[in-house]
Structure 1
Amino acid sequence: MSWADRAAPIIAEVLRQNDRTDLPTIRKALAAAYPWGARQNRPYKAWLSEIRRQLGHPLNAPKLDIENGQIDMFNETQKG
């Protein structure tokens, strides 16, 4: 089991118990819930990564290029 796998249910529980719109409160609750002693090395990096993933951080969102016309090639409504 990876560090992220261990962190996921803890972070999910904290997010479930708090209002997602109140980020300062969420950050404090997540800091208090950190389970592995010193905040350093791989466990802490996995913890932060899992927080970003569960909060829907913009860097984790798929990239979409609006100017890319290749997607339209497969659209049925534009075939003529």
Structure 2
Amino acid sequence: MSWTDAAAPLVAEVIRSVGRSDMKVLRKALVAAYPWGERERTPYKAWLSEIRRQLGHPLNAPKADPKNKQTDMFNPR
């Protein structure tokens, strides 16, 4: 079992119990729930990676195509 596999259910449980409505409270709960002592090296990187994966990091979001003008008709000017 990898560190990421171990972190996945823990992160999911914190997100489920706290909810996504207040990200500041959720971030504090995720910091408090870190289970492996010192926040360094591989376990901590896996923990942060799993948080980014489950919360949907903005860098992973699909980019809008500026050349696609089809939705312009829905934007009032």
Task: Please report the TM-score for the alignment, with normalisation by the length of structure 2.
Answer: 0.78
Aligned-pair CA distance for 1:59: 1.6
- Determine what percentage of the aligned residue pairs are the same residue: 63
1:32-80 alpha-carbon deviations (Å, 9 max, x no partner): 110000000010011001000000111223x4462578xxxxxxxxxxx
Partner of 1:21: 21
Aligned letter for 1:66?
D
Q: Which structure has the greater CA radius of gyration?
A: 1
CA RMSD of aligned residues (A): 1.6
Partner of 1:32: 32
Q: Structure 1: which 5+ runs fail to align? A: 70-80
Partner of 1:72: none
Aligned residues: 68
Task: Please report the TM-score for the alignment, with normalisation by the length of structure 1.
Answer: 0.75
2:11 corresponds to 1:11: yes
